[in-house]
C-alpha cells in the first residue's frame, strides 16, 4: 500500500508543479484499476489531482478548436460535438499499428475501435500508450493514433510533440528523435497549439 501511495504522491507533486494555466489531461490505465487498494478502485486516485485546467477520466474541454476528451481504462468516448475530437486514452484502438506490438500481437481495445468507427463525432487524433513496444508509434488511418512506447532505462521518458506551426509530429524516444509530417487533411486547427503525449 505504501508503494502505491508513494507513486500517487509523485504524480500529484508533478501535476501540482506544472503552471496553473497549462491544460493537463490525465487518464487511468490498466494498472490503475485492478488492485484492492481503495485509491485504485475505479481509479479514485485521479480525483486527488483535480484543479482548474487538470482534466481526468470522463472530462472534456475545448482547446484550440478541438474537443479534448479523457477516456479512462475500459471506457469509450461519450461526448458528441461539432468540433473535431482528440481522444486521450491509455489503450490505443485495436486494428491500429500503434496498438500492435513489435511481435505482431494486437493489444489494442476492440470496443474503442468499434465505437470510433461508428461515432458521429469525427476523431482527429488519439493520444495513447499501453503497448510498450508498438509496431509503429504513429498510425494514420481514418484517424491518427500516436503511442510513444515505453523505455525504462532512459532519463527522459518517451514522448511525442505535435507542432501545428511546423505541421509535424515528433517522437523523442529510444535515444533518438523521429519526425513525420502532420497530415494536411488533419490540419483543422485555427489556433497554433503544441500538444504532447506521454506513455507509461
Length of the chain (residues):
200
Asked if pLDDT for residue 63 goes beyond 80, the answer is yes
Asked if pLDDT for residue 133 goes beyond 60, the answer is yes
- The residue extents of the domains of the chain are 1-54, 58-198
Give the tens place of pLDDT for each residue, 1-10: 457 778 888 8
Mean pLDDT rounded to a whole number for the chain: 83
Cα–Cα distance measured from residue 90 to residue 130, given in angstroms and rounded to the nearest whole number: 6
Asked if pLDDT for residue 27 goes beyond 90, the answer is yes
* Phi, psi at 146, each rounded to 5°: -120, 140
What pLDDT score was predicted for residue 34?
65
Segment 68-96 mean pLDDT: 91
What pLDDT score was predicted for residue 35?
67
pLDDT band at 147 (very low <50, low <70, confident <90, very high): very high
CATH 3.30.750 assigned to domain 58-198? The reply is: yes
Segment 120-140 mean pLDDT: 88
pLDDT band at 195 (very low <50, low <70, confident <90, very high): very low
Instruction: Tell me the three-class secondary structure of 28-93, residue by residue.
Output: CCHHHCCCCCCCCHHHHHHHHHCECCEECCCCEEEECCEEEEEECCCCCCCCCCCCCEEEEECCCE
pLDDT band at 193 (very low <50, low <70, confident <90, very high): very low
Asked if pLDDT for residue 157 goes beyond 50, the answer is yes
Question: Which range among 8-22, 39-53, 180-194 shows the weakest confidence by mean pLDDT?
Answer: 180-194
Asked if pLDDT for residue 85 goes beyond 80, the answer is yes
What pLDDT score was predicted for residue 144?
83
Asked whether the beta carbons of 55 and 61 are under 8 A apart, the reply is yes
What pLDDT score was predicted for residue 183?
67
Cα–Cα distance measured from residue 24 to residue 146, given in angstroms and rounded to the nearest whole number: 17
Q: Which residue has the higher pLDDT, 28 or 44?
A: 28
Segment 36-42 mean pLDDT: 70
What pLDDT score was predicted for residue 7?
81
Amino acid at each position: 500500500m505504501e508503494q502505491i501511495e508513494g507513486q500517487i504522491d509523485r504524480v500529484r507533486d508533478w501535476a501540482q508543479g506544472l503552471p496553473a494555466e497549462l491544460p493537463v489531461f490525465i487518464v487511468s490505465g490498466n494498472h490503475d484499476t485492478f488492485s484492492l487498494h481503495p485509491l485504485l478502485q475505479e481509479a479514485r486516485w485521479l480525483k486527488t489531482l483535480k484543479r482548474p485546467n487538470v482534466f481526468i477520466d470522463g472530462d472534456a474541454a475545448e482547446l484550440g478548436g478541438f474537443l479534448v476528451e479523457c477516456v479512462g481504462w475500459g471506457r469509450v468516448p461519450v461526448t458528441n460535438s461539432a468540433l473535431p475530437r482528440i481522444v486521450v486514452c491509455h489503450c490505443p484502438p485495436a486494428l491500429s499499428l500503434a496498438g500492435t506490438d513489435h511481435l505482431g500481437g494486437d493489444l489494442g481495445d476492440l470496443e474503442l475501435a468499434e465505437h470510433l468507427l461508428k461515432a458521429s463525432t469525427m476523431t482527429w487524433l488519439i493520444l495513447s500508450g499501453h503497448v510498450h513496444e508498438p509496431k509503429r508509434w504513429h498510425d494514420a488511418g481514418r484517424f491518427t493514433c500516436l503511442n510513444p512506447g515505453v523505455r525504462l532505462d532512459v532519463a527522459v521518458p518517451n514522448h511525442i510533440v505535435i507542432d501545428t506551426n511546423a505541421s509535424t509530429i515528433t517522437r523523442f524516444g529510444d535515444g533518438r528523435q523521429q519526425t513525420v509530417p502532420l497530415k494536411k487533411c488533419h490540419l483543422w486547427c485555427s489556433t497554433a497549439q503544441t500538444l504532447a503525449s506521454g506513455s507509461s
